[in-house]
Amino acid sequence: MFRQQFAGLSFFQGFTPEQIAEICPIMEAIPCEKDAVIFQQNQRTDYLYILEEGEVVIQYKPYDGPPMVIARIHPGGVFGWSAALGRDVYTSGAQALAPGRAIRMQIDSLQQFCSQHPETGKILLERLASVIAERLKSTYNEVLNILTNGLDHTGDCWRRIEKP
């Protein structure tokens, strides 16, 4: 049953049933209650997550301002990938916006899996790299929108709109 649940997720499209069976032992399904914090910014990185159902928001809190939503994760989306990048802490926080469920992989188990199953591990890492690259592209657009939100374009120059 568990295999069928996540085999249909976009992240796993193209994996064979045998590869999915190999990955299954390192997967753990967790509930995501509405408004639950899944992990906080600067929390130790232990898991990589794939959203199965629901919606998760990724927030970044700069030291000198309020939190900013930098991404919305929908079913099949990956989050918590600071762990896969070898970071000690998550660079952003994740919170469930709607009730749902995520699949998580403990990062040490994922590393061990990739060394024990190199073919499937390579596909998994390539898929993860693709997701991260796409997310960085969309994060760039989100940050650009945030930065330009308080700016007014006049002719060839940008000027800051001062608030009264």
Say if domain 2-141 classifies as CATH 2.60.120.10: yes
pTM: 0.79
- Note the pLDDT tens digit of each residue in 80-116: 988 888 889 999 999 999 999 999 999 999 989 989 9
- Note the pLDDT tens digit of each residue in 34-92: 999 999 999 999 999 999 999 999 999 888 888 888 889 998 889 998 888 888 999 99
Question: Domain-by-domain residue ranges, the chain?
Answer: 2-141
Three-state SS sequence of the chain: CHHHHHHCCHHHCCCCHHHHHHHHHHCEEEEECCCCEEECCCCECCEEEEEEEEEEEEEECCCCCCCEEEEEECCCCEECCCCCCCCCECCCEEEEEEEEEEEEEEHHHHHHHHHHCHHHHHHHHHHHHHHHHHHHHHHHHHHHHHHHHCEEEECCEEEECCCC
